[in-house]
Structure 1
């Protein structure tokens, strides 16, 4: 039975909607559907959860109490390189935590995200 109280959609502000879309297309291979010049959605098929970006002069950061959305990657180091090559800014380099490793980054509009992976000794396992 499907609950009606589950997380179904997430929206983020984007200072530069075009740059944010280009970043997620390049780094995470997402596709977007535009709804006018100030809104673009992504799908759960690409991102794991439906959502979108809207034009606004603000950004989501953990330093101001924002929620942290965390991606999973089997190869954390390659995703760090992809984020940097795609124009992301690393705000916390790879660090270990109980159960894995992760890094934090900001995409071109300034929203903070993280990517985590298994500890080195468990690399490749799910």
Structure 2
């Protein structure tokens, strides 16, 4: 369960790199009824997505050469510089060096040894982070597709202290590894990782990648909004036993995300 009571290693923020922010804002407003609040030129055209007056995510221009439009997931840390150094020592790389954001905090963007990109956020005087989670129209899960599950578990376990538990996939489809922040119970489980071949990761040129899962009260209705808004569906909607009804979607620019009606809501 993702909450706004952030602990070290838990997801605390996510934002989307976009080549056309007005078009991106219009699409997600259609899909999730999000309101877009731009910061203006002084913030590099960065803006916030909000629902019911609460911030759920951010969006800004792509800043890395050759990068594809994609969601970036940030994990809480007490020391962004130390985490960046630890990532390098564990075989990862630092794409964006630790950067101060004034009173708000510090961030760094990193890549794991297999190629999965993620970020870390160290809060400053203000807590920061998303204000709404685990509810329709907000983040409810994070997921890593990787070419080396054992290597990924070792890296993130060393970096964040995450614990993992195994969940066999139906039909002999392999194993899904559930992720929990260090020292937390299963109720704080925040994501999962699964191993795929590079051929199954064509969306990212064969390299591993993280993506967000957004909760919705009606998966099929949300998918209809995705396609009506110019997006597409990679998989689903389909029922996942014990999880709910879900679909893997792409926005019009190709950024991937999942929509999920959790099993309790799906039964309703």
Give the TM-score, by structure 2 length: 0.40
Partners in 2 of 1:106 and 1:34 — Cα distance? 23
List runs of 5+ in structure 1 lacking aligned partners: none
Superposed, which structure 2 residues align to 1:86-97 within 5 Å?
Answer: 86-97=229-240
Partner of 2:34: 30
Partners in 2 of 1:20 and 1:102 — Cα distance? 22
Change (3 A) 1:3 1:69: closer
Partner of 1:123: 267
Partner of 2:214: 71
Helix, strand or coil: the match of 1:117?
strand
Helix, strand or coil: the match of 2:238?
strand
Give the TM-score, by structure 1 length: 0.77
Helix, strand or coil: the match of 2:209?
coil
* TM-fit CA distance, 1:31: 1.0
Cα RMSD after superposing both structures: 2.8
Bigger RCO of structures 1 and 2 (CA < 8 A, at least 6 apart): 1
Helix, strand or coil: the match of 1:87?
coil
Correspondent of 2:249 among 99, 105, 115: 105
1:70-101 Cα offsets, whole Å, 9 max, x none, are 11222221111111112211111212322222
Correspondent of 2:57 among 51, 54, 66: 51
Q: Does the 8 A contact of 2:19 with 2:61 survive in 1? A: yes
Structure with higher Rg: it is: 2
1:41-93 Cα offsets, whole Å, 9 max, x none, are 123646x7642111115223853322121112222211111111122111112
Change (3 A) 1:29 1:67: same
Partners in 2 of 1:50 and 1:73 — Cα distance? 14
Change (3 A) 1:55 1:30: same
Q: Does the 8 A contact of 2:6 with 2:12 survive in 1? A: no
Structure 1 or 2: more strand by fraction: 2
Q: Does the 8 A contact of 1:60 with 1:66 survive in 2? A: no
